[in-house]
Amino acid sequence: MQSDFALYAFFNYKNNHLRMGTTNKLIPILLVFVLFTACNKSRFEINTSENRVEVKIQRFDKDLMALDTTNLHAGIQKLYAGYKEFLPAFSSNILVVPATDTAEVARLIGNFLKDTTFSKVNRKTIETFNNVSDIEKKVSDAFTYIHHYFPGIKLPEIYFYVSGFNRPVMLGENFVALGTDMYLGADYPAYQSTTYHYLLYNMRRELVPVDLVSATLFRMFKNNLGDERLVDNMIYRGRVMYLLSVFMPDEKIENLMGYSPEQMKWCGKFEKQIWTAIIDQKDLFSSDQQLIRKYLNEAPFTAPISQESPGRLGTWIGYRIVKSYMDNNDISITGLMDKTNSQEILENSMYRP
């Protein structure tokens, strides 16, 4: 697991100093360093420069905002030609009109671009997402992982759009799209009166790559465990979170979970109590859909556990179970996703917080 260079450095240092008859006090330190490096290297790590998937984000948001409102007809015809698959989805989901009604599409887009409130938001969006090469790199790295482990799955095109604070993500048969105007920063003034406070933290540019890859994975892998019981839903989401952690190894777990550092610390501190409560309350195998939503949906806290908790604790515990399962069993990434029995995963996980 450890690099050849690290091993060579260790043994070369040891042999030279033994021949010199010196006391080698640094050897244990070097050995600890080598072993630490080895143990923290994921068995699923790959070289993302090999067989690389290069992602180029399609900038519908820029092209839309660049339209000349004095000659909308020509500009919108160009949009129709350049975004044959995405424009119909944008029309039906954001404008709420069929794309075939070109006159109404042009009218609504014209009103949107001339609206003084949203023109200010649009300018901020262009400023925030003027250069997206860093986002493309992170998504390319993750997509390279996905292609490596699931070469038979067609990866989606990625689009950016502006939604008028309407919808942060759209999924199509061949694309994943993200509304860039929903990621202008937790302190962006326009959000303060339009968005629940507990959602603000994740409305940051830094989380765009994570949300794109997460949406891609949920789009790729449907729940094959069943969705009747809490445990099935927890482990399904936990599996996707585990893939996310493997495919984006440089991201902090709190970013992958959408938690603040303080929320992440709370989860770590009270993990045992959370699990005990789920068991003692007989929630784990419950089929009560309202209860399941309380564990999984976005919320200021996870109601069955504590008002001090972050929301979505079902996903967090599901991830912890799946991670324990993968740590304690010799199973591949594809083998994990092929499993259809959540109880088998739970029982073989040896999860004991």
- Whether pLDDT at 27 is above 80: no
- Whether pLDDT at 337 is above 80: yes
What average pLDDT does range 217-238 have in this prediction? 94
* DSSP structure class, residue 205: G
Whole-structure pTM value: 0.86
Average pLDDT, the chain: 88
Give per-residue pLDDT as tens, 37-46.
Answer: 333 457 999 9
How would you classify the pairing of strands 175-179 and 169-171? Answer: antiparallel
Give per-residue pLDDT as tens, 67-103.
Answer: 988 888 888 899 999 999 999 999 999 999 998 998 9
Angle at 226 between CA 221 and CA 227, to 5 degrees: 95
pLDDT for the residue 274: 98
What average pLDDT does range 49-61 have in this prediction? 96
How many residues would you count in the chain?
353
- Whether pLDDT at 198 is above 70: yes
Phi-psi group of 185: left, alpha or beta (phi > 0 → left; psi -120 to 50 → alpha; rest → beta): left
- Whether pLDDT at 344 is above 50: yes
What is the C-alpha to C-alpha distance for residues 184 and 25, in angstroms, rounded to an integer? 52
Tokens of 91: 């029309």
What whole-number percentage of the chain has pLDDT above 70? 88
Between 124 and 6, where is the model more confident?
A: 124
Give per-residue pLDDT as tens, 59-72.
Answer: 999 999 999 888 88
- Whether pLDDT at 170 is above 50: yes
